[in-house]
């Protein structure tokens, strides 16, 4: 019983930490270009091209922040639909 509560507490602490990091720093470095915005082609090592994953910005929105934004958008659209239906 004590082990289960400890594991649940650790998981809860990790989720709170990740949620806080998504609020404080919603963007992270791109995994493909390492935050540079450009990466080298695998075929020709001297050619550098814009990163297609981050659109050459070097930053990507975190997964947790993307979920939070989608949930807010759904809530906002549902509230707007309820106002129209009245």
Flag whether pLDDT at 80 surpasses 90: no
pLDDT digits (tens, 9 = 90+) for 14-66: 999 999 999 999 999 999 899 999 987 777 667 788 999 999 999 999 999 99
Q: What is the largest CA-CA distance in the chain?
A: 62
pTM: predicted TM-score of the whole model, two decimal places: 0.70
Number of Cβ within 10 Å of residue 75's Cβ equals 10
Helix (H) or strand (E) holding 8: helix 2-24
Q: Given a cut of 90, is residue 73 above it in pLDDT?
A: yes
Contact 41, 50 (CB under 8 A): no
The closest of 9, 16, 11 to 64, measured between CA atoms, is 16
Q: What is the pLDDT of residue 54?
A: 93
């Amino acid at each position: 019983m004590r082990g289960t509560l400890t594991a649940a507490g650790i998981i809860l602490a990790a989720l709170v930490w990740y949620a806080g990091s998504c609020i404080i720093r919603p963007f992270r470095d791109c995994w493909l270009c390492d935050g540079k915005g450009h990466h080298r082609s695998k075929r020709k090592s001297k050619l550098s091209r814009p990163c297609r994953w981050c659109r050459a910005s070097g930053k990507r929105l975190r997964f947790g922040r993307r979920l939070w934004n989608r949930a807010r958008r759904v809530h906002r659209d549902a509230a707007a639909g309820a106002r129209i239906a009245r």
